[in-house]
Structure 1
């Protein structure tokens, strides 16, 4: 099979160019839908331009709205990070709860608190 090095390089260049183009197309389309400052007609217009004339539409979109694309992406990342931090328990908190529960179990085992006091204190620690 005769496949010179230049042809292999050209094929790889085309493949990675196509991959880059598809990535850019999906980034632009997702930014169109994510944009809150565009009206419904504006989104429909940009989407039509990107679908019918992909190269011109993507270039025009990135030229005219490229600065705000980064701002929207950063705001989206910050919102996702805040949501993630809200659901992630902190290591200090979970360690404190575990320590408190261990102390309560020791107190009950030594007979220093009753079962009723243990249940009441356990409900306070776990909430």
Structure 2
């Protein structure tokens, strides 16, 4: 291979890429072990020992055994993040219930006798403040 420096560069880049890919998978598995709520502490410790002492075998076995639930946890986390983001956007944009809607609810509660006139006035002042 000494006669082909471009081929050496290609192999070096391939090895570098595979190492990065390996570390990404290793960190993904380790974070999933700690994120998993359906596993006991002893189960987590066992997986960590296996992943640390026999990294290649441990990661491959983990992905085979728990890969499906690993994907489900990722999907659930993405959904929670999306819901939190949407909630924040709605709150920041002020598209929640309007003051008029809240006042209408308060008026309805007052007319049903749930709120007294004094309670209605206090809630109204608080809402408009």
User: What is the TM-score of this pair, normalised by structure 1?
Assistant: 0.69
Report matched runs for 1:40-119 at 5 Å: 40-88=41-89, 89=91, 91=93, 93=95
The corresponding residue for 1:7 is 8
**Cα displacement string for residues 8-43 of structure 1 (whole angstroms, at most 9, x for unaligned residues):** 000000100000000000000010011111000000
User: Structure 2, unaligned stretches of length 5 or more?
Assistant: 100-123
**SS of 1:20's equivalent?**
helix
User: What is the TM-score of this pair, normalised by structure 2?
Assistant: 0.68
Q: Which has the higher contact order (CA 8 A, sep 6+)?
A: 1
The corresponding residue for 1:26 is 27
**SS of 2:10's equivalent?**
helix
Offset at 1:92?
Answer: 6.8
**Cα displacement string for residues 60-119 of structure 1 (whole angstroms, at most 9, x for unaligned residues):** 00010111110000001111111222222364739x89xxxxxxxxxxxxxxxxxxxxxx
Partners of 2:76 and 2:26 in 1: CA distance = 20
Partners of 1:48 and 1:21 in 2: CA distance = 18
Moved over 4 A (4+): none
RMSD of the alignment, in Å?
Answer: 2.6
Partners of 1:5 and 1:21 in 2: CA distance = 24
